[in-house]
Structures are given as structure tokens and as C-alpha cells.
Amino acid sequence: MSAPLVPAPTPVRRPPGLASRVWSVAAVPLVVTVLSVLVGAAIIVFSELLVPGHPFDLGLPLVAYSALLSGAVGNPDAIVSTLVYSTPLVFGGLAVGFGFKAGLFNIGAQGQFLVGALGAVMAGVALADAPAPIAIPLAALAGIIAGGIWGFIPGFLKAVSGAHEVVSTIMLNYVAVQLLAALVSGPLKVPRSPSPVTFDVGNAAFPIILGRNGHLGIALALLAAIFVWWLLYRTTWGFEVRAVGANPDAARYAGMRPKLITIATMTFSGALAGLAGTSVLLGVTHSMTSSFGTTVGFDSIAVALLARSNPLVILPAALLFGGMRAGAGLMQIKAQIPVELVDVLQATILLFLVASPVLRRVLRTGGRRAGPTGVDTIVASTGGEAVAI
């Protein structure tokens, strides 16, 4: 009589070590950054060949990047400047990344940035003579609410009518620009000023906490990143946001309300983008012109993609982009390289991010295995790449 067949024991899969987990998260951003730097170096070398009589200098990229690095972190003032440039990018990156987690592409961070700054300046001017402990929180809250309202509109339209958030947020960007110009040139304008400008926010300005211009917004950005990470990964609502982003039908079957979550997510995303504008207005400019605006809203998309929408990874990604902006001036002075090279580098980073699935296959950094709770099995498709949530 033959012995009964005994099934072979299933091999126990060991969880990946810390080094493997870190590499899976950092590999693609690091490779993308290195590739963009190499492309920038090639552009520097060959653009100089277009100048008549200019020699072929392979060392010029090294000079340019050395100046860029020195301008970003070469001394304490440069470091503070990098932090100041990075602060609105952290808020904006969190805004875009939070939308990604719900499967929403919030390309309207620029408009929410402007409306948030507009709300902050209106409240700040009204409270300019009030005590700072009262004026600062109320002005910041006004900017957050204004940005949240601007984010609520596309969220509501998507939930009610199915209007795509990319289209509605792009349109609202243009509306925000014209709204700002109309208000600053009209009721908010300083009387008899040679050009449209608002009054100073006075006591509502953020206090300086670091160096010569390191304002309170730097600390708020750090706290915001930690809070958003906690909200996404340690709360029920955060799980629902990630579940809706992965599969709205399955989330609805599980008892969640995707439409309500879509509205709440876009509102919260708009509030974060509004806080980005508030940090610039109350921390740097203290007043607003009719042409007020930066590239923060669009740079935030690249920051969120580079960080793969991870709130904590958004911090170093924003520092990278902020450092480029902070060091661009010194690069132009020392190497005679236009500051627009920074835009080229950032655009190249975004271009390589589009090809990140190919890079991930080459680097063998696939999505994470499912954990005991099954949370890590949820995968959201954002911007053409699979992001483990």
C-alpha cells in the first residue's frame, strides 16, 4: 500500500528588507533626475556651439551645475532661500498628489493657488492693524477656504454631471487669472497708485523664523506633509480616498460613496493649493499686483509625479525643484547660462516620468506585495503610471 501523498509545504515569502523598500521608492526618481541632468549638460554644451567663435567646452556643464548647487545650498542664506522656494511647492505637490490618490488629476492647482492668495490678501488687508495672533490665522484661513471653494467647483461638477476634472480645472485657471486682475485693478487697488496693487497685509504677514527671509510657512509645509500622510494612511477617510481612486465601483459595492469622496477630495486638494498661494502672499510678497502669479501650480504636478504622490517623499522632491529655482540666478552670473535652463530640467524630469513604467521594468522595482491587511494591493493609475497606495 502506497503512502498518502503529502502536499509540499508552501514556501514562506520573506518581506522585503528596508534597503529593498527604499530602493523601490527612490530608484525611479533618482534615475529620472540623473537623466535630466545629463540631458541638461548636453543642451549646455551644444547650445554654446551656436555662439560664433565660442570654443567647445565640455567643462561648462560642471561650472553651471556647481554654481547652481552653490546657489541652492552653498551657505546658510542659500539654504533658507531654497526652503522659501520649496514651501509653496510642498503645498502644491500635496494638493496634486492627494487628488491622484483618489484617481483625480487636479491640473487646476495654479488657479487654486491664485484664488487662495487673493483670499489671503483680502483678509490680510482687512486685518492689517489687528494683533498678529489674530490676523495671521484668519488671513491664512481665508486663503485656505478660497482655494477649497475653487477646488469644490470641479469636484461637484464631476460628481453631479461627470464633467472631467482636467477640463474644468483648466478652464477655472483662466477664470482665476481674470478674477484676480479684475479685483486688484478695481476694488482692491490702492488709490492713485501708478499700477494696480493692493495694500500691504501688515500684521497678517508671516513672521520670520529662520535667517533673513525664512517665514512661518516653512514649518507649516512640514506639518502639512506629515498631516496628509497621516490622513491618507492612518484614517478611515484616507483609506476610502485610496479605495475610490483604485476602483470606484468596488468602493461603492463596499458601502463607500464615491461621489461624495470626489467632492471632498477636490475641495481638500484646492485648500492645500490655496495654502500654497497663501504662503507666498503672507510670507514673501505681502501684497498683490494684477499680474501676480508664478509657475508653482504647474511645477506642483511634476513634484507630485516625481514623489509618486507620497506625501513624505514630496518634501525632498519640492526641495529639488526649489533648489533649482534658488540657484538659477547664481548659475546665470557665474556660467552665463540662462535661468530658463531650470525650466528645461524640470520639463525633462516630467518627460522621463512619463516613461517611468519602462524605467521600473529595467530597474526591477515593481509594485509592493500585498501586506497582511490587503491595503497595499490597491493600485491607482495616475498620470500613466501605477502607484502603490
Over residues 187-228, the pLDDT tens digits come to 999 998 888 999 999 999 999 998 888 999 999 999 999 999
d(CA 125, CA 114): 16
H or E element, residue 386: strand 385-388
Grouping H, G, I as helix, E, B as strand and the rest as coil, residue 309 is coil
Domain that holds residue 231: 20-388
**Residue 284 counted as domain residue:** yes
pLDDT digits (tens, 9 = 90+) for 272-329: 999 999 999 999 999 998 888 778 888 899 899 888 889 999 999 999 999 999 998 8
CATH of the domain at 207: 1.10.3470
**Residue 13 counted as domain residue:** no
pLDDT given at position 124: 94
**Residue 153 counted as domain residue:** yes
Beta bridge partners of 387: 380
d(CA 218, CA 283): 9
Q: Are strands 208-210 and 385-388 parallel, antiparallel or unpaired?
A: unpaired
Owner of C-alpha cell 556651439: 49
**Residue 72 counted as domain residue:** yes
Backbone angles phi, psi at 54, to 5 degrees: -85, 130
Higher pLDDT, residue 45 or 140 = 140
d(CA 299, CA 267): 20
pTM of the model: 0.85
Amino acid at 333: I
Beta bridge partners of 214: 210
**Residue 139 counted as domain residue:** yes
Closest CA to 128 of 117, 139, 119: 139
271 touches 186 (CB < 8 A) = no
Burial 7-43 (b: 16+ CB within 10 A, else e): eeeeeeeeeeeeeeeebbbebbbebbbebbbebbbeb
**Residue 5 counted as domain residue:** no
**Residue 4 counted as domain residue:** no
Q: How many domains does the chain have?
A: 1
**Residue 377 counted as domain residue:** yes
**What is the end-to-end Cα distance of the chain in Å, rounded?**
53
Beta bridge partners of 208: 215
d(CA 334, CA 367): 43
